[in-house]
Structure 1
Amino acid sequence: MILDDYQGVALELADWSAVETRSIREHITDQDELVAAIEDCEIVVVMRERTPFPAELFARLPRLRLLVTSGMRNASIDLEAAGRHGVTVCGTAGNSTPPTELTWALILGLARGILPEATSLRQGGPWQHTIGLDLHGSTLGLLGLGKIGSQVAGVARAFGMDVTAWSQNLTPDRAAAAGAGLAPSKRDLLATSDVVSIHLVLSDRTRGLVGAEDLAHMRPTAYLVNTSRAGLVDQPALVAALRTGVIAGAGLDVFDEEPLPADHPFRTLPNVLATPHLGYVTWDNYRTYYREAVEDIHAFLAGTPIRELPQRQAG
C-alpha cells in the first residue's frame, strides 16, 4: 500500500509489478481508519512524514513487515517500536535542491509582494500598491548552514546579499566555507537580518528555537521563512507576531498539522505567503522516491534489505 499519494502519480513513476500495489490519495488522519485501510498489508510505502507511525500503530499492524519511507530520515516513525514489532524500515535517496528552490520562491514572493500584487491584478484592484524590498545589499540570516542552508547562501550571494549564519555548533571556518559570516548569537542574527531563513533538523534541542522573545528582536520590516519543520518555531508566537506587525511577514511551507486546518490563521493572514509543504515535491524527487522504494521492496523480498534506517528513536 502506498499512502498519501496526493497527486495520484506513484503508480506511474515506478514499476510496481512485483507486488500487488494500491495507492491512497487522501490523507487518513484517524488511526482507526488507517488501520482498517492497511491492516492486511505486509508492505507500506509512506511519503515523507505525512502519516506518522507511532508505537501504538505498529502494535495494531501485526502483518506489517516492511515500511518504506521517502528519504533517509523520518522523525514521524518510531524506529524502536518498528524493531520491537519485527518491521524493517528502509529509505530512499532524495535531492536537496528542490527545498532550496522553494525557499527562494518564498523569499522572492515576500520581497516583491507577488501574492498581493497578483491577486490585486486578477481582481481588478489597485495597479501597484506595494513597494518591494531590494535584496541586493540586504542581509540574509540563516539559522542552520548545512547542505540546504549552504545552497541558499550561494543564491543569496548571487543576488548581492550579505549572508550571516548561526547554529549551536557552527564554527567560523564552516561559515566562511559557505560564504557566510558567523553571527555572534542567535539574537544578533535575528536583530540584524532583513530576511531570516531556517534550515535546521528538528530535535529536542532545536524544538521551539524561535520563540516570542526571538521574534521580538527581529526588525519590523523583516521576513521569516521556514521550509524546514514547523516545530522549530513557536507557532502561536508567530501568529501573534504576524497579527501585530512585530515582523513584516512570513513565508511558510511547513505546519504543525498537515494538511493545514481550513480555519487556521496561516490561511488568511495577509502577510503570510504559504505553500502546502511543497519543498520536496518535484518530478525528479518523486521518481527517485518511488523507484528506490521499489528497489527496497525487491531487496527485502530477496532477503537482503538495503537502505535500512537504524532501529533507534528518530530525532
Structure 2
Amino acid sequence: MSRLLFLNAERVDWARDLDFTPLEVAMTSVQGRQALSNKDSGNRVVDAIYRPEVSAGILSPQDIAALVTPLHAVVVTKEMPVTAETIDALPDSVKLIVEAGTGFNNIDLDAASSKNIKVCNVPAYSTDAVASLVMTFVLSLSCSMQTTQRRWQSGDTDSWKGLGTLPHFELAGKTIGLVGGRGAIGSRVADLARAFGMHVLISSRSSAPCGKEGVEVVNLDDLLARSDFVSVHCPSNAETRGLIGAPQFARMKTTAYLINTARGNILDESALADALKNKSIAGAGLDVMVVEPLPASSPLFQCDNVLLTPHIGWKRAETRQRLLAGVAENIDAFFKGSPKNVVN
C-alpha cells in the first residue's frame, strides 16, 4: 500500500478544519482502491502528524523516517527544514517530497536529486488571498486606520474630532510599484489596484512590456522614486536577498509606503526600522519577517507607522483547502507518471 506522511500538518490544519480526502484519493487512485476518509482511524494511506516537535526539528531524521512505514511520499511546509541528513535517512521507497506552499528553500534540492526524489511545490494556491492582503494594507495605510484605532484604544478620543496631520487620501491617481510584479500575485495586485484607479509600475528582469493597460515596466530605481506604495513580489534567492535596504529607502518618497508579503529577507529590516523612525518613508505593512514570529526585541515594534501581521496572507480557510488540493494534484500526477510543478 502506498503511504503518504504529512510531517507538520499542524502548520496548515491548526484549526482541524481541513478535509484531507483529496490526499487520500490521490494516494489510493493509483492502485484503483476506494478512497478512504481522513477521519477513518483504521487502514489509512495518509498520516498527518500533528506534533509541534516535528516542525521544531526536535525529532532526529531517523525518528522522522520511522514515523510511518512503508513510506512513499512526504509533504512538508516551509517551516520545517528538510536537510540532506533528513533526506538521507528517508527509506529508499520515498520518491516524492511535496512542499505544501510556494517557497521551497527549506528543502535541500541537491540531496533530493542525488537520491532520485522529485520535489514539487504548489505555486499559485494563495494568489487571491495574498493580493487581497496587499490591498488591505494599501487601504488601511491610506486612511491611517491603525493609528486612529490605537489613539482611541489609548483613551485619546479628542483626536477623533480631526485627523490632524495624519495621512488620509484617495487611491485614484496614486501609483503602486510592484517589485517583481510579473508573477501571479503581482498580476492580481495590478488588477485590483487598477480597479481603484491607481497607476501600476512593475520591475522585473525582463524589460518587455507587460501588455496590460495602465501598467508600465520600469527599472527598480525608477519604480522606487515614482511610487506612492512599493509592494514586494519577488522570490527569495541569492539575487533578491537584501534587495531593498537603506539606499533603496532613500530613493523612495517621504510620503511613500513599503509593503512586503513575499519573503522577509528581501528587506533589510534594520534599515527599514531606521527609515520608519526617521520618517524618511511614511510607513510600511509587513506580513513576512526575516525571523518568524518577529522577536520581541525587533526595532519594528517601536515604530508607530508600521502594520505587522504574522504571515497570514495564505491562512484563510479556503486558501488552505486549495493548498491541499494542489498537493493532491501533484501527488496524483507524479504517481501517474507525469510529475508537475517539479523544482529540482
TM range (shorter): 0.7 to 0.9
- C-alpha displacement at 1:94, in angstroms? 1.5
Which residue number corresponds to residue 98 of structure 1? 129
Superposed, 1:1-315 pairs within 5 Å as: 1-3=6-8, 5-6=10-11, 8-9=14-15, 12-15=18-21, 16=38, 17=40, 18-19=44-45, 21-24=47-50, 26=52, 30-33=56-59, 35=61, 38-41=64-67, 42=71, 43-47=73-77, 49-62=78-91, 65=94, 66-71=96-101, 73-92=103-122, 94-126=125-157, 127-128=159-160, 129=163, 130-146=166-182, 147-171=184-208, 173-174=209-210, 176-177=211-212, 179-183=214-218, 185-294=219-328, 303-304=335-336, 307-310=339-342, 312=344
Change (3 A) 1:29 1:13: closer
Check conservation: 1:70, 1:94, Cα contact below 8 A.
Answer: no
Report the Cα distance in structure 2 between the residues aligned to 1:4 and 1:264, rounded to whole angstroms. 29
Report the Cα distance in structure 2 between the residues aligned to 1:292 and 1:196, rounded to whole angstroms. 30
Report the Cα distance in structure 1 between the residues aligned to 2:101 and 2:291, rounded to whole angstroms. 20
Change (3 A) 1:24 1:259: farther
**Over alpha carbons, which structure has the higher Rg?**
2
User: Structure 1, unaligned stretches of length 5 or more?
Assistant: none
Change (3 A) 1:295 1:139: closer
Change (3 A) 1:292 1:34: farther
Deviations 1:160-182 (A, max 9, x none): 222222222132x22x4253123
Q: Which is further off, 34-43 or 78-87? A: 34-43
Deviations 1:173-202 (A, max 9, x none): 22x42531233x321221121111111122
Q: Which is further off, 291-300 or 208-217? A: 291-300
Report the Cα distance in structure 2 between the residues aligned to 1:64 and 1:38, rounded to whole angstroms. 14
Report the Cα distance in structure 2 between the residues aligned to 1:306 and 1:10, rounded to whole angstroms. 31
Report the Cα distance in structure 2 between the residues aligned to 1:295 and 1:166, rounded to whole angstroms. 32
SS in 2 for 1:165: strand
Report the Cα distance in structure 1 between the residues aligned to 2:16 and 2:187, rounded to whole angstroms. 31
Report the Cα distance in structure 2 between the residues aligned to 1:32 and 1:194, rounded to whole angstroms. 45
Deviations 1:13-62 (A, max 9, x none): 22235325233364766534464762423343223x22222323323445
Deviations 1:188-245 (A, max 9, x none): 2211211111111222222222121111111111100111112222222222222222
The residue type equivalent to 2:342 in the other structure is P
- C-alpha displacement at 1:307, in angstroms? 4.2
- C-alpha displacement at 1:252, in angstroms? 0.7
Q: Which is further off, 18-27 or 243-252? A: 18-27
| Paired residue total | 306
Identity %: 33
TM-score (norm: length of structure 1) = 0.84
The residue type equivalent to 1:89 in the other structure is V
Report the Cα distance in structure 2 between the residues aligned to 1:64 and 1:285, rounded to whole angstroms. 31
Report the Cα distance in structure 1 between the residues aligned to 2:227 and 2:244, rounded to whole angstroms. 14
Report the Cα distance in structure 2 between the residues aligned to 1:189 and 1:125, rounded to whole angstroms. 38
Report the Cα distance in structure 2 between the residues aligned to 1:242 and 1:37, rounded to whole angstroms. 45
Check conservation: 2:8, 2:55, Cα contact below 8 A.
Answer: no
TM-score (norm: length of structure 2) = 0.77
The residue type equivalent to 2:8 in the other structure is L
- C-alpha displacement at 1:83, in angstroms? 2.4
Change (3 A) 1:14 1:264: same
Check conservation: 1:154, 1:179, Cα contact below 8 A.
Answer: no
Change (3 A) 1:132 1:98: same
For the aligned residue pairs, the C-alpha RMSD in angstroms reads 2.9
Report the Cα distance in structure 2 between the residues aligned to 1:187 and 1:143, rounded to whole angstroms. 10
SS in 1 for 2:231: strand
The residue type equivalent to 2:181 in the other structure is L
Check conservation: 1:4, 1:51, Cα contact below 8 A.
Answer: no
Change (3 A) 1:294 1:157: closer
